[in-house]
C-alpha cells in the first residue's frame, strides 16, 4: 500500500500533537507540506519530516497530488479551506468545530458528496475505549430506554491563554467561547451516546468572569431529544483548573458515565464497575486533549484506503455544532429553539 501524502494546515499548539502522530505512523503517511501563515511555525513543523516543504499559503498544495488536508487553523478558516481543498479532490480531516456557521458546515457536506471525497471531523474523545464500550452497551439496550443525561465541564482558560492568541475569544474567528471550543467534545459525546435527534434546545450563555473576551465563558442548557431524553449541560472555563469532565447517561435499567476518560457502569442487579483498559493512544500535550487523536486519524486513513464510510463524517460532525448554535440562538432570543 503506498503512503498517503498529506498536508498539515495550521502548525500551532495542536500541531505538536499531529507531529507526534505522523512520526508514529510514518509507515502510513508522507508529510509533504507544512502550512502556516507564520513561516517559522511551518518551518519548525517541516523539519521533523524528510522532503516536507514549508509554505505559508495552503493554495500552494492544491495541485500537488495531496491525498489529505489536515486542518488545524483558527475555527473560521476550517470551512473555506476545506471547501477549496475538496473542490480540488482532496480529502479533508478537520479539527472541531467543522465550521462556525451551520450553512458553511452544510456546504462542506454538500461539496464532499459532489466531489466524492472523504470529509472527517475530529472528535477524538469518542474513540476512548471506555466511551466506545458505553456506546455498545446503550446500543445493546442494556440501559433500557434512555431518560436523562448530563454533562459538566469546569475548566481553566486564563487571561494569558486568550492574550496569547489572535483569534480566541472572538465571535468572528473562534465562533463562540466555552461551548464551541471546550464543551463541544462533551456535547458531541452525549448526543452520540443518546443516539437520537434533538427536538428542542433552551439555554443561556454569559460572560460572567472573563471580561476580556467577547464570547461566553459559561453556559447552561436543556436539550430535549425525540426519544424523550432530557440532557442538561453546564460549562464554564473560569474554574481554577481543568477538572475532569463528568458525563452521565441514565436509562430505565441503569446508568453509565465518564469521568474525563474513565468510563463506569451501574446496571440494575449488577455491581458498579469501571472500564480501565487504557488507550490505543499517544499522549502528547495537555491531558484535556486526550490520547485518541491517533486512533481517529488511523481510522480515517483506513476509510480512505479501503473506501469505506468515515466514522465521524460531516453529517456526524455537524450534530454538536447544531446544538451549540441552538443554545446561542436560544440565549439571544430568550426562547426554545425547535429543530
Least CB distance to ligand NAD at residue 243 (A): 16
Q: Which of 74, 203, 317, 326 binds ligand NAD (CB under 6 A)?
A: 74
Size of the site for ligand NAD (CB under 6 A): 25
- Distance (Å, rounded) from C-alpha 157 to C-alpha 149? 26
186 binds ligand NAD (CB under 6 A): no
Measured from the CB of residue 48, what is the shortest distance to ligand NAD in angstroms? 15
Residue from 3, 24, 28, 37 binding ligand NAD (CB under 6 A): 37
Q: What angle do CA 244, 128, 36 make, to 5 degrees?
A: 85
CA distance 288 to 128: 13
**For residues 86, 88, 93 and 99, what is the CA-based torsion angle, rounded to 10 degrees?**
-40
Contact 203, 147 (CB under 8 A): no
Task: Return the SS3 of 147.
Answer: strand
Q: Is 108 in the site for ligand NAD (CB under 6 A)?
A: no
Q: Is 244 in the site for ligand NAD (CB under 6 A)?
A: no
Least Å from the CB of residue 7 to ligand NAD: 10
Nearest Cα neighbor of 193 from 242, 122, 123, 283 is 123
Out of 96, 189, 319, 325, the only residue in the binding site for ligand NAD (CB under 6 A) is 96
CA 65 from centre of chain: 27
**Pairwise CA distance, residues 170 & 199, whole Å:** 29
Nearer to ligand NAD, 75 or 135 (CB): 75
| Using rule CB under 6 A, residue 151 touches ligand NAD | no
Selected from 11, 256, 294, 320, the binder of ligand NAD by CB under 6 A is 11
319 binds ligand NAD (CB under 6 A): no
Q: How far apart are CA 175 and CA 169, in angstroms?
A: 8
42 vs 337, beta carbon nearer ligand NAD: 42
179 close to 216: Cβ distance less than 8 angstroms: yes
Q: What is the DSSP letter of 308?
A: -
For residue 82, state whether it binds ligand NAD (rule: CB under 6 A).
Answer: no
Asked if 165 touches ligand NAD (CB under 6 A), the answer is yes
Binding residues (CB under 6 A) for ligand NAD: these are 9-15, 35-38, 41, 58, 72-75, 77, 95-96, 122, 124, 165, 181, 289
Amino acid at each position: 500500500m503506498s503512503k498517503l501524502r498529506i498536508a498539515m494546515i495550521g502548525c500551532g499548539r495542536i500541531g505538536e500533537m499531529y507531529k507526534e502522530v505522523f512520526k508514529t505512523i510514518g509507515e502510513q503517511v508522507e508529510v509533504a507540506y507544512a502550512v502556516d501563515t507564520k513561516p517559522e511555525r511551518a518551518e519548525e513543523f517541516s523539519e521533523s519530516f524528510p522532503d516536507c516543504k514549508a509554505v505559508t499559503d495552503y493554495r500552494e498544495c492544491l495541485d500537488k497530488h495531496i491525498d489529505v488536508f489536515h486542518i488545524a487553523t483558527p475555527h473560521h478558516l476550517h470551512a473555506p479551506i476545506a471547501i477549496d481543498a475538496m473542490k480540488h479532490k482532496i480529502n479533508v480531516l478537520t479539527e472541531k468545530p467543522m465550521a462556525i456557521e451551520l450553512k458553511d458546515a452544510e456546504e462542506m457536506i454538500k461539496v464532499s458528496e459532489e466531489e466524492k471525497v472523504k470529509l472527517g471531523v475530529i472528535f477524538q474523545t469518542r474513540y476512548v475505549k471506555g466511551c466506545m464500550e458505553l456506546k455498545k452497551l446503550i446500543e445493546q439496550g442494556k440501559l433500557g430506554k434512555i431518560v436523562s443525561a448530563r454533562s459538566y465541564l469546569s475548566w481553566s482558560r486564563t487571561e494569558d491563554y486568550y492574550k496569547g492568541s489572535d483569534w480566541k475569544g472572538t465571535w468572528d474567528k473562534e465562533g463562540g467561547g466555552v461551548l464551541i471550543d471546550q464543551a463541544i467534545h462533551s456535547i458531541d459525546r452525549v448526543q452520540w451516546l443518546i443516539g437520537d435527534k434533538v427536538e428542542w434546545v433552551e439555554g443561556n450563555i454569559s460572560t460572567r468572569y472573563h471580561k476580556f473576551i467577547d464570547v461566553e465563558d459559561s453556559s447552561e442548557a436543556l436539550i430535549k431529544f425525540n426519544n424523550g431524553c432530557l440532557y442538561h449541560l453546564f460549562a464554564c472555563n473560569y474554574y481554577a483548573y481543568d477538572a475532569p469532565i463528568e458525563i452521565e447517561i441514565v436509562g430505565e435499567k441503569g446508568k453509565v458515565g465518564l469521568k474525563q476518560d474513565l468510563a463506569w457502569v451501574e446496571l440494575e442487579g449488577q455491581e458498579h464497575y469501571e472500564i480501565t483498559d487504557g488507550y490505543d493512544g499517544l499522549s502528547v500535550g495537555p491531558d484535556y486533549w486526550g490520547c485518541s487523536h491517533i486512533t481517529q486519524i488511523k481510522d480515517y486513513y483506513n476509510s480512505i484506503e479501503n473506501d469505506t464510510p468515515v466514522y465521524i463524517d460531516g453529517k456526524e460532525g455537524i450534530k454538536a455544532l447544531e446544538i451549540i448554535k441552538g443554545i446561542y440562538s436560544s440565549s439571544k432570543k430568550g426562547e426554545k429553539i425547535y429543530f
